[in-house]
Structure 1
């Protein structure tokens, strides 16, 4: 029986490998964002792929057909179509390389893969020498999405390689990578094993096949075909899968062959050419080249240039050049038309294709597995156990996928390990029986009521023997699940035994409680708000007893035995007593009757006029006695319902009493308001327009809340105050005063005011002023008599028209009296300052000169006369330039019109002043001696002014009498010493002068 099980296990290990050996090649990525899924047996279009290449792409999936990664030669994308972190910078073809990308598994590893790259024709041999490189991708990196190992990137294997390479299974557990050296026409076969990539096996071809075109190895790995595109050669040879050697070459000529494909039975060859021809050849005649060439059959003349790819469903697929259709050979094992070629088998809904359909993925699962040891072990009550395989082997695979030589297990079961080399492995089997000591009794220490039936519950596990101890009162002592009757406190123990192992024990303690006895005090009556102490008698009560009063409202502590009960209503209280076990309860009760402690005063706060009576009333329990206070004004202070005639404002209080209860009181306030006695004041005669204050009298006068209303209020300052002001110019008025309290207790009185009409004093002059020693005439009218205040500066202060001549500005008030009434007016009399004017009596000037008048004055306006020789006659300081002696008069006027006149004589001297300095300081232009010039006044004219140094050199000359010499010659200061001066000109007497001075 064990051997049968081992055979079954071995089948489980081997058969799934065979069943899914091709799933790694079921997702293709090629062209421009095109991908196909063949996991269902038929191609299904996928989206989201990132390839953008004419040819030269590859993709690989896991053993279940789930995409792992793909490449177009210079990048590596993960299954989420994102670039791997180190997936850029791969050195490969640049978008057009026939078979420039292939992928292979790394033998002996579940996570490592080779990515091989070649370069493309466009760069070979002009910018490169056709490198063959590899990269290693580790799918355990980047959280299981995979990444290119940094130290295993762009590793050069060989050079002078074209665009063609292919990977197939070797005769062991590895692979052959076969490439073609276009320079030497040699085949390079690299064996890929768990130890890495071996040096190439080199075989020399006999027919040049160049850089472009596919190279393929037949499914039975016996033949190899190389399409030489530009060379128009199809080289067919034998392939030795055990050595990687290529031999027995023949050639079939065809115009520009490109794509190569084998039928699944390896007997039919398909060639696609750049002339859009798809050919079929029968290879059963190999190695006779003539026979093979004669078997040529044209499958299609419009297939389009394309690589060919044998799918896991046994069909060969290709693309239609620069189109969106996929072509298929449905039965490639059949010759002639029976191969069933379909030109547009699948139309792509997105993306586009060029000439490449991607590289196939080989999977080698050729491990030789033998049956090893069988272990049968009983491990008593262990939580875990370590299983160990023999040491010293490179490969270990346990049934859970772990790869260490040992494994920790945590329970019973059948376990196996496969160990050895990649290709030769042994399977050992372990039957482990690990009985669990963690069987639990699900009863904790407990307290129960006497007579209760308690469930005993333990884990019911097959193969164990159970025994409950002691067995008294237990329904079935041998069952893991049973019951026990609680008759006394004791420890209950479960003995558990597994055959072949020592027993172990589980126990718990069961405490049994008696039903309690309660004696409750008698029911009673209390006043509301009072409490009643209750002390039930409970014999045998201890700390395990618990108590619960219901309802809890009004109970001092609902979980205590002794309590104070203070209900708001008559209540029956129930006490539940438990002795410490479930359902070990007894209930007793007590009734507490409650007398309410509230009264309801019917009266609210109120206001009354003095002398009014009102009823007083209270609602309350009839057992209470009542008392109204204060008694003054109460008809009967000891009745709940009575009446009151208050004598003053104040609180009225009702008190309800009962023995054993707190007194209850309530009160209301009576605002007693007086009925006022009013005197509006005596009748009177008043002056029109003069405010007159009314003074009213009210008794009692100490009440603060009177309101006053005078009517009519037309001439009153405020008709709502006690003592308003009355002002009327002509009309007499009878006024009514009504005085009220807030609730309307009121009375009224009248007063007559006779008004003497007002006569306003008329002032016949406005504010004015004068310049001293002047005066002002004042005049008032429309009154019988007058008084001027102040009297200062007035000719008479008691007449209507005095003359005012004050020394300084004054505001005068005039009072006019008519029939005992007066009126006032005001006028300002200003005294203005006189004009001042200061200037010289005379000044002298020479002909041609002008003098600016030097006037000091407080005036604002000026007038000069005569105007001849003046620059302006209306300003303070005009320029004067008369030809003859002239006296000028100026009149100055202040802003208030005060004036003053003065004069000045301008004397014109017809002589002249003409002087030449005898020395000066050269270069000191800021000094009066720093410029050598002619000093003159009057009309002196200059014809020439020349200066010579002592050697006779002219250092300065001018004809402008105002210009002088600064002592410089040619920009430099002249030396100190004697100078010669030459002058020529004329004087006012028309006398010419010529002078030379040294």
Structure 2
């Protein structure tokens, strides 16, 4: 068989306490069952010998087995078949099926609301088809028989007139059951994906209430109702080329209506062309969480969604993988046990999936694969379609004891359709609000006499954030963790703290919300630990230093009276600190001193002119604060004071001397530097400017303009003679400037001479022939002269026809090469015209003549 045959009987339920133990015995496939009368549950023997996927058993209110069935036979508590217990659900075969399909697929035991000794045994006939790739139950009959426990001396028997009765035909073979307080429900699906809800009352079974699931005509794979009768989970089967879907609906246990379709998950098409699987559902016992198995490709996992969220989008966003399945699950289905845990089994014996705290969100539900010491050795598909839950009336129920975060706390009866309510407080509404811890119960009653009692054991335990704490001797601090709470630490924190600091944590308690908290943790060092840094040298512009305890001690007293972890010192000396802590008294001392100031240089000229004022600057290191300048030889000093690295000094007395500087830091260290210098008289010029006229190429002797140690001469800022008392020049250029610099050390003065040349000649010599043959001699025809005052303006050359063969402005490339364009000119006489001027004269001069070109 395929997994679509492994369908469980689905009954709305609470966690049964007190004496209500009708579900304490589970029956499985071949000769095996499970008893919840022990903790942990234990394996028991049965007489089942079948491959049926959904055996079912019922016990009395004390947990004593009454009977069990595989859908074809019914065994009493002595494991014997009841007198009429054979063929209780037997039906047709289907020509499309590839094997005998008369087996019962799904079987359910439902107490008769009108007779506490009678039970309906409802089951489907197993007609299914398998095409080699996918499978689906085909349309089948759902039939029922009635067991009366008052017969056969209390061992029970099947009523002959109420055996194998057809409830409905042409429906899928999976069945879900639900219950109100005075009625029960049998839920079937048809080809149109409708829900057919059959109500069972003391009067019998009514015609179905039909609700549309608003789904395509899929093969419905699984149905399961929630424990509070309010929801219905519907899964579609895996078919070739189609996806599988999981939806949630609202179920009204009073009317049987199924409404409000909501998607939960979708499985796509795998590489085989069939759908991945969504199979095996379970609601938590408080109905706030929904679990399902999903198989995507080769990966299997258990997922949880939180149905307590306020919107469906939030429900979908809460989807959390709570367990990876790394081995093959045999039953695929999941079932809520009487102990409030959810169970599912694997093919090989001993391994079970157990969700120990299904009411808690996310991985706090504690879903894991466990060894329950309950070996299931059946290697066939008869292993488990899990035990179906037996609905009971007039039973006491409770939810898990829980701790509320704070008062007030709303409580609500889990029976939404009761006619009346009575609380232990005397209230008669479905909902109340409490402000004190304690045990509360509510009785929900129907006019038929049925009632339910929900019990709530409430303890107000608010979230306890960590408090300020400490440890001694450098020991790590273990932060107490509140059971069931989720701690999200800041970037520097965790449950084990090794360093002093302020730590932040967000603490989430399921159902209570999240608080953000911060606390201080101090890890005190071992006794005798050095608190302060090594002795300190203060060396900065402020001559201050921060001294800090290496450890956060919480309590400080410094020698200067400060009580902070760090102090700022501005003078040398010894400083101590004391810290009185829960771990004892800690003390330590540090010596603070200044670094030695250094004078590297005194920046000033070594020769100073008498009467001059000079800016003198000290180049220092290590931030001296005191400057003591000494200026001899009658120097006058203005604005000299401490912390002044620069001064301006005027010198009046001639001679050699020195300046000295002493620097210090408030008397602790000092350094001395001296700079020698000479004060010289400033030379005096006899005149500042002089113009001399001289004939062309006449020699002129220029005298110094004053007496000094050094006399230098410059022509147009170019040094032409150093240490020259006088300067002899040739008067050649029309106009030339000379400067004489007289100098005593750094003391100097200047005078300027201007030479103007007169009687400058105007003659230029022009060649009468030239040979432009490329031998480097006489290759160009051009004017010849050595007069720097002549400036040629242009030269033009003409042939006898008057064609100008050459014209050259004064561009520095003067001269004719005997060509006209790219053509060489032949042997001939050519005529020329020259235009030029002479510096110092305003007119333009011209010359003309002829020249012979020879080759």
Give the TM-score of the pair, scaled to structure 1.
0.33
Point out the structure with max Rg over C-alpha: 1
